[in-house]
Amino acid sequence: MRAKSVKHVEYEIINVLVNDGWRPVDHIHLRRLFEKLVPGGSKGDKVAFKRWDTACKNLRTIFENLLASRVKFLPEDHVDYEGAQ
């Protein structure tokens, strides 16, 4: 299943993360997904690789925004706690 669009790759990555859980082996699942969506890897299908790369960057921004919006709800003794602003 080749990457059809950036949104397609984002969906597949989120699906792996959400439905397979946060286990130490998740990078293996993402590696397998990468190999499925990007035939030949970074040296192969350049368009599919660019879509993968863009999707990863987009998801990083989304996850960073999700984290930032939740920092104020962390316990006071949490290392990332910043308090209500």
Burial of 50 (0-12, 13-18, 19+ CB in 10 A): middle
| Residue 1 to residue 8: CA distance in whole angstroms | 11
**Residue 58 maps to a domain:** yes
Strands (DSSP E) along the chain, which ranges?
none
**Residue 12 maps to a domain:** yes
Grade residue 8 by pLDDT with cuts at 50, 70 and 90: confident
**Residue 81 maps to a domain:** no
Residues whose CB falls within 8 Å of the CB of residue 22, separated by 6 or more in sequence, listed in order? none
Q: Does this model's pTM top 0.85?
A: no
The tally of domains found in the chain comes to 1
**Residue 67 maps to a domain:** yes
**Residue 18 maps to a domain:** yes
Query: pLDDT of 24-45, one tens digit each?
Result: 555 667 888 899 999 988 788 8
**Residue 42 maps to a domain:** yes
Query: Domain residues for 50?
Result: 6-71
Query: pLDDT of 47-77, one tens digit each?
Result: 999 999 999 899 888 888 877 887 777 787 7
**Residue 85 maps to a domain:** no
